[in-house]
Each structure stands twice: as C-alpha cells, then as structure tokens.
Structure 1
Amino acid sequence: MEHENFSGIMNSDTSKMSNKLSFREESASSELEQILADTEAPYFKRLRSASWVELKLLYQLAAPAVIVYLLNNVISMSTQIFCGHLGNLELAAVSLGNNGIQVFAYGLMLGMGSAVETLCGQAYGAHKYEMLGVYLQRSAILLMATAVPLMAIYIFSKPLLMLLGEPVSIASAAAVFVYGLIPQIFAYAANFPIQKFLQAQSIVTPSAYISFGALVVHVSLSWLAIFKWNWGLMGAGLVLSFSWWIIVVAQFVYIVTSKRCRLTWTGFSLQAFSGLWSFFKLSAASAVMLCLETWYFQILVLITGLLKNAEVALDALSVCMTLSGWVFMISVGFNAAASVRVSNELGAGHPKSASFSVLVVTSCSFIISVMAAIVVMIFRDSISYIFTEGEVVAEAVSELSPFLAATLVLNGIQPVLSGVAVGCGWQAFVAYVNVGCYYLVGVPLGVLLGFKSDLGAKGIWSGMLGGTILQTIILLWVTLRADWEKEVQNAQSRLSTWDEKRQPLLLE
C-alpha cells in the first residue's frame, strides 16, 4: 500500500512538472497566435512582438540540438584533420572512409532511430512513461540487428571501392581506416535510440556535456595514437569508434542514474521483443527520406574518386565536404526546430503561428548560412591548411570554394523546408521530390559535366547543386502556396487516424 501511494505521488509530481512545462509552451504559442491575429495593432508592432516570442521558442529548441550535432561532427572532423597531416593519401583515404562508407551507415541508423522520437514523444505526452524505455530497447534491438549485415560492407570495403572504380592505393588505405570503424556501427545502433529517447523528454543539455567530454578524450587519444604511437589509419578508426562508445555508455549511465528518467526507464524488459515487425516498418519508413538526402553527397565523393587525378580531387572535396558538414549541423538543428514548431502549432490549431514560424526559422537559418559562405570566400586560399599542408590541395580548395559557398547558402534553406514538410506530414511527397531532383537530375547532370565536359570535381558538384536548387525551388513553391487553415484540418485528421491505428502500439 505504501508503495502504491509512493508511486502515485511520483506520478502526480511528474505529471505536474510535465503539465507546467506544457502550460508554458502552450501559453507562448497562444500568445503568438493572439499577437498575429490582432489586426488592430500596428503591423510593425505585431511583427516585433511576434518575432520576439517566436525567437525565444526557437532558441530553446534549436540551440541544444545544434550543439550536440556540432560536437559529434567535430569528433569525426578532428580525425580527418589529424590524418590529413600524415599526407595526401591518408587524407583521401579518411575522406573516402568517412564520406563514402561511414555516412552510409550513419544515415541509415539515424533514419531508423528517428522512429523512437515519434513514438517516445507520443508516449510521453500521453503519460505512458514506462513505454519510452520499451521503445528505446525495441529500437536498439532492431538497429543492432541491422548493424550485422552493414558490417559486411565495412569488411569488404576495399573490393567494393575498387568495383566502383576507386584507385587501388586509395581504396586499400581507406579499407584499413574503415576496419577500425566497425565497432562504431554498433555504437550508432545504440546511440540514436538513446538520443531520441532523451530528446522526447526535452533532455538535451546532458548529451551536450557528454559530447564535449568525448571530444576532449578523442582529440587527446587521436594525437597519441597517430603521432606518438604510430598506429596509423587503423588506430585512427579505432579511436573514433571508442569515442562514440564513450558517448553511448555515458548517456546510458545518465538514463539509469538520473531522477529525470526514473519513470521512463524501469529496466530491461522482455516486452521489447514484442511487436518488432510493426516497429521495423515504422523505422524503415522514417529512414527513407533522410537516407535519400544523406547519401546524395556521399555519391558526390564516390564519383569524384573516378576522376583522373583522384587523390587531389578527393583531398580538396574532403576539405569542402567537412566544412559543409560542420555548417550543415546548424541547419540540422533548425530542421528539428522547424519540424517541432510547425507540427506543434498545427496540432494546436494555430495556422498563423505555423506560417510565421516557417518564416522566422527559415530566415534565421538562411542568415547564418550566408555569413558562413562569406567567411569561406574570404579565407578561400588558406582554409585548407587546417586539414593539410599541401599547396596543390589548397589551390584546388580555392577553386571549389564558390561551389562550397553556394552549397552552404542552399543548406540554410533546404533542410529547414524539409523540417517544415515533416511537420506538415508531407514526407511521402518530399521522398518523391528527392528521388526526382537528386537521382534523376542531379547525379546524371553531375556525371555529364564532370566527365563529358572535362570539368572534373567542379562539374560533378555543379550538376549535383543543380539537383539541390531544383528541390529547394519545389519545396519553396509548395510551402509558399500552403493553405495553413487547411493544414490545421489535415493535422487534426491525421491525429485522429493515428489514435485509431497506432494507439494499440502504445498499449502493448
């Protein structure tokens, strides 16, 4: 009886905390809608007040996500920087390993792990706290099972890269690095469910501290392994894998020991093995749209490896893609914020707030990306020396800098619009758009310009930029023409359908 009373008190306290947080967010959301609907107030006064409310909401969502993604990306970037100082071959090998092999697994695992965010968010909102831990375990089981066949790609990376036409020297060196990344696949399988589990409860700051600590350890161990212990590319890959496992273990220890997770993590459960097929179908659907985008620029690296002077081209592209990936992490944070803000406002029946949120989040992301593009163009002749001391590579990076700047600007718009599409429930439409723009336009055009017109890496990148521009224009057109009143009705209809078809999943 005492235990039941204690549990009741805990549930009551947690519900109050959850309700208090929800009330704050709902109050801000309602305030924004009231400001925008007040047509009697001067236009610029409404704009100023609404922008202030929206920016505060946006900051609370985007800033923590950006920090986590940036820190995790810097871990991989630091490995590339260390290996780049060993020589051009090593830089090309790590570039091919990271962008040609690792990104394949990263995109698939991140996409599948995103299903946890949806289900955990629903369960947390419905106060089905114990189900969050079950979903975490269920997703980890599926991702670990997926990691096993993925491991074959890593093991046979050398013949696969050679089959794709990569030079033997680069393929051989890349394979050595990739062998050291095999433990990282399983770290991904555990990390993304844990990460989404925490995000569903708005627990992001601990992940940021953990990622920062892992970065410090990683940089120290990488320097020792590469320059002091002479472990080479294999050692660099193993240290990178070890650093990702530090993140996984530290986050799991936090879950087990933190009071904030005492109701959502109740221990390991056999219930995690039930309903795996339904969970797999949902996870696979979540992966499709993300993978189509993640693999797009991976193909750019693979195609560039087929050029005549592949080593210099890959080195230059490696530097550009690393910088692009770093700035892209900021856009990923805004992508998540856009998805949450739009879906929240549509679900709350606030069409004006949803439309205004799209404008604010897109503008913020665009301004930051333009600033990054300007910095790249200013330091175009020297920026490559962060990664390698080769003057030939520096000259090649300088030539590619305008394409990098254009990519950064587009990345300030396109990912945010994808987040808006997710918030509106346009995932299937965007998947078709991605296939058409990326793989039916961008890749063929890049191959044509790169090889038939003898433009090399610049031609390949130009063609693939064309695909991204076309996709961005389509998403902009759809977003600008959106009937937000109708989108509110569609959101309410989808919520009713979800309740009817998916609620049993929460009650398993």
Structure 2
Amino acid sequence: MDLGNKTRTLLSTPLIQNSEKKKWGQNLEAIGELKVQMRLAGPLVVVSFLQYSFQMISVMFVGHLGELSLSGASMATSFAGVTGFGLMLGMASALETFCGQAYGAKQYHMLGMHMQRAMLVLVLISIPIAVLWIYTEHIFVVIGQDKDISSQAGLYSRWLIPSIVPYGLLQCQFRFLQAQNNVSPLMISTGITSFVHVSACWSLVFRFGLGCKGAALANSISYWVNVLILALYIRFSSACKKTWTGFSKEGTENLFGFLSLGVPSALMVCLEFWSYEFLVLMSGFLPNPKLETSMMSISLNLISVFFRIPFGFASAVSTRVSNELGAGKPQAARLAVHVAIFLAASEGLLVNLSAVAVKGVWGYLYTGDEEVVTYLSSVMPILAVSNFMDGMQAVLSGTARGCGWQKMGALVNLGAYYLVGLPCAVLLTFFFGFGGKGLWMGIICGSGLQALLLLSINLCMNWERQAEKAMDRVDSSSIPSTDIVY
C-alpha cells in the first residue's frame, strides 16, 4: 500500500511541476507585457496632456481680454472640436490599425504609404471644415446664441482655420511613430512645442496686439512647429529608415481603402464627443441655467483632463494589439488586452477615489463662486463614476482600433449614447427632477453600456480569426518596396 502511494506521488510530481512552470511562465509574460505597455503609455499620456493644453492655453490668454472675448473663444473652441479637430483625430486613428498591423507583419515600407494616404485624405477634408468655420457666426445666430458672443466666436473660428491642416498632419505623424513603439520623439517634440505655444500666445495677443485673433493663430504656429520637428526626425532618423522611404505615387492611391476604416474611426470618436457636448446644451434649459452651465462646463473640463491618462493607455494597447495581430500572434494580443484592462481599472480607482476625497477643492480651481463650488462638490462622486467608465471604454476602444473593427465600435457608440445615454439623461433631468446630476447619471448609463458591450465583444473574440484578418489586411494593401520613387 505504501509502495503504491509513493509510486502515485512520483508519477504526479512532474505534472504538478509542469503546471507550476506554466503558471510561472504566464506570470512572467504578463509582467513583461505590463512593462512594455507602461513604457509606451507613459510618454503617450504626457503627449496627450500637452496636446490638450494647447487650446486651453489659448483660451486662458483670451480670458485676460474680457468676458465677451472669453465667451466667444470658448464657444468657438467647442465648435471647432465638434466639427473639425475631433473628426481629424478620429480619422487619423485608422492608422493605428493600418500602420500597427503592417509594422507587426514587418511590411515596414507600408507605414509610409499609409501615412501619405491619410495625410492626403485629411488635407482634402480640411476644405469643407474651413468653409463651415467661416460661417460659425451665422450658425450661432441661427441657433439663438447672443449676437455679440456669436460675432466673437466667428472671429476666433476664422483665425483657427490655418490650424486645421497642420493638426491633421500631426495626428498622422503621431500614429506613424506610435505604431513603431517610437514614442519618445513625440513627447520631446510636443514638450518643445508647448513652450513655443505659450511664447506665441503672449507675443501675438499682447505684444502685437492681435487679441483673440492672435490666440487662435498661435495654435496654427504651434502645430506647424510640431509637424516640422517630427518631419525632420522622420526624414533623417535611422529609426525610420525602413518605414519612411520617401513620397511615392502609391501614397495617393487606394484612398477609399483608407476611408473604409477612416470613416468609422471618425464616427467612433465623434459620436461619443458629440454626446457630451449635448449635455452642455441641455443644461441651458434647466431652471438656473447660469449655475448649471457653469457646473457642466467645469465638469467637462475636469473629466477631459482626467481622461488623458486612460487615453494614453488606449493608444498603447492599440499599438500592442495591432503589432501582435500583424505578426500573427493572437494570444499575445489577447494578453495585451487583459493587461490594459487591469491598468485602466487600477488607474481609474486610484485617481477617481482621490478626486472624490478632495471634492470640495476642485471648484476653486475655476471660480470663487461658493454656489458653483458647492454644487460641483456634490456632483464629484457622479463624475468619478463617469470618469471610471470612460477609462474602461477608452482602453476597450483602443483594442477595437488595434483589431480593425471600428465599424462595430461606431455602432456600439451609436446605440450606447444615442439610444440609451442621452434619452436617460433627458428622462432623469427633466422628468424625474435630478437637474444637472441627472445629465451625468444619464451619460453614465451610456458609457457603462458602451464599456459592457465592448468588454463582451472582447471576451467572445476569436483571436486567431482576428490575426488572420490582420494578415489579410496587410497583404491586400501591400505594394512591392521596389515600386517606391522619391
């Protein structure tokens, strides 16, 4: 009997050891993936913060010119984000799929081709955007805004027009380098440009006396400086020797192939972006519109700042997923998603619990009005929940871009925000009397559903099939490197 027990023990020992070795190996892989994503996400978070600060800095300088100028610049900035910058950002995000998967498949020369196509498309799209911005004043007057504020907003929008093209080119350069896991140049160039932007704003607004026109024009100067720095880096750096081989006629072909992902990518961003702008509009119909719109504007600004961190995580996981799928490594892509979700959840809990702990402080960063500060303090717990859900869906949306299923992502956003989120916001605010809190509670329903749907899709995803699709996408868009001309 004892001999039999010993025999069974000896026979089972290797199986246990193998199981432990397998688990240990999986843990090491997860830790390695965590390190890779942190190295990517760190600079991308910094870049996200700095890029977001450009428009804020311009509006801050305009704020010293008077209340009317500030109101006009704020409205124009919001309008420009909804109708132009958000569209450009979303469409350029298609490069996270094309460039990321091509890099993973070692089709290095295709990264330059994809970037050229995206640049050409965005330059063409800038034309109707510019025309729309010319009529900003008339649009605001038609929808019932104050004529003086509309006039200032129209002036600011017209002087923002020169920034459309460089902004689009910059987003393409960002994705081109991001797909190669080469993010340090992005952080350095954006840091340099931030100092240029502050100097440009001060010089144009005060030294040359251009006022709000100068603040708007400073954006164009800063974006072009950033574009030039990155263009020189891409052209002369040995890191881009294989991925940028010069301009070619193939870079102007198959534009509809780019649009097949570019349009749904833009819809993914814009559908979500627009839903939050609707909250501000609806707050103006509440009994105390001045208090409600002040609270809503500050709240949106706060969550936009907080969102920079998960946005960096989302860009990192998009890169990791697209690289691994392009390389034909579906399980590595799956692991990258799991690690990214862990990062987003950990960061979301830490940041939002900290924000709630000092909820009475945030209002004083924007105003000295005690009523607004108190109201914002009462809303902060709801904002924290909203921001947590936004962080989770941001990472899951990054996964969507990495896989190339932006069409499904756009449908999810449409259903989550426009069939659930906004209707719930209207019901909770105007029918159940929750006021401004109801607006946020409603949008939480939308973002929560969005995160749940995207998570369900990820859990049910056939990663082997996604890898096959990625390799098919790379093959269908590839051209022989010998066809390139300078």
1:96–1:407 Cα change, 3 Å: farther
**What CA distance in whole angstroms lies between the structure 2 residues aligned with 1:196 and 1:138?**
13
Per the TM alignment, residue 211 of structure 1 is displaced from its structure 2 partner at its CA by 0.6
Give the partner amino acid of 2:349: V
1:311–1:289 Cα change, 3 Å: same
**Which segment is superposed worse, 294-303 or 200-209?**
294-303
Does residue 161 (structure 1) correspond to residue 140 (structure 2)? The answer is yes
**What CA distance in whole angstroms lies between the structure 1 residues aligned with 2:253 and 2:333?**
37
Does residue 193 (structure 1) correspond to residue 172 (structure 2)? The answer is yes
In the alignment, structure 2 segments of 5+ residues that lack a partner are 1-16
Structure 1 segment 411-450 matched on structure 2, within 5 A: 411-450=390-429
Partner of 1:74: 53
Deviations 1:240-284 (A, max 9, x none): 232222211221222233333344444444443333343334432
Per the TM alignment, residue 215 of structure 1 is displaced from its structure 2 partner at its CA by 1.0
Does residue 362 (structure 1) correspond to residue 341 (structure 2)? The answer is yes
Per the TM alignment, residue 132 of structure 1 is displaced from its structure 2 partner at its CA by 3.5
Q: Is the 8 A contact 1:365 1:413 kept in 2?
A: yes
Alignment partner for residue 213 of structure 2, among 229, 234, 247? 234
Partner of 1:493: 468
Partner of 2:441: 462
Partner of 2:319: 340
* Identity level (%): 36
Per the TM alignment, residue 160 of structure 1 is displaced from its structure 2 partner at its CA by 2.0
Q: Is the 8 A contact 1:349 1:488 kept in 2?
A: no
**What CA distance in whole angstroms lies between the structure 1 residues aligned with 2:403 and 2:173?**
26
> Aligned to 1:180, what secondary structure does the other structure show?
helix
Partner of 1:274: 253
Q: Is the 8 A contact 2:326 2:467 kept in 1?
A: yes
1:227–1:461 Cα change, 3 Å: farther
1:174–1:310 Cα change, 3 Å: farther
Q: Is the 8 A contact 1:166 1:305 kept in 2?
A: no
Per the TM alignment, residue 438 of structure 1 is displaced from its structure 2 partner at its CA by 0.5
In the alignment, structure 1 segments of 5+ residues that lack a partner are 1-36
**Which segment is superposed worse, 304-313 or 374-383?**
304-313
Deviations 1:279-302 (A, max 9, x none): 334432432323322333233234
> Aligned to 1:40, what secondary structure does the other structure show?
helix
Partner of 1:49: 28
**What CA distance in whole angstroms lies between the structure 1 residues aligned with 2:82 and 2:423?**
21
Alignment partner for residue 502 of structure 1, among 454, 467, 477? 477
Alignment partner for residue 112 of structure 1, among 75, 83, 91? 91
Does residue 203 (structure 1) correspond to residue 145 (structure 2)? The answer is no
**What CA distance in whole angstroms lies between the structure 2 residues aligned with 1:382 and 1:87?**
26
Alignment partner for residue 40 of structure 1, among 1, 8, 20? 20
Deviations 1:116-140 (A, max 9, x none): 3433345545555544434333322
Structure 1 segment 108-187 matched on structure 2, within 5 A: 108-125=87-104, 129-187=108-166
Give the partner amino acid of 2:309: I
1:409–1:247 Cα change, 3 Å: same
Per the TM alignment, residue 496 of structure 1 is displaced from its structure 2 partner at its CA by 5.1
Per the TM alignment, residue 208 of structure 1 is displaced from its structure 2 partner at its CA by 0.9
State the aligned residue count.
Answer: 467
> Aligned to 2:93, what secondary structure does the other structure show?
helix
1:163–1:214 Cα change, 3 Å: same
**What CA distance in whole angstroms lies between the structure 1 residues aligned with 2:66 and 2:226?**
29
Deviations 1:16-49 (A, max 9, x none): xxxxxxxxxxxxxxxxxxxxx9623496x56753
Partner of 1:378: 357
Partner of 1:220: 199
Higher relative contact order (CA 8 A, sep 6+): 2
**What CA distance in whole angstroms lies between the structure 2 residues aligned with 1:131 and 1:269?**
11
**What CA distance in whole angstroms lies between the structure 1 residues aligned with 2:33 and 2:260?**
35
Partner of 2:8: none
TM-score (norm. length: structure 1): 0.80
TM-score (norm. length: structure 2): 0.84
**What CA distance in whole angstroms lies between the structure 1 residues aligned with 2:328 and 2:244?**
33
Does residue 97 (structure 1) correspond to residue 76 (structure 2)? The answer is yes
Per the TM alignment, residue 143 of structure 1 is displaced from its structure 2 partner at its CA by 0.8
Alpha-carbon RMSD? 3.3
Larger radius of gyration: 2
Does residue 404 (structure 1) correspond to residue 383 (structure 2)? The answer is yes
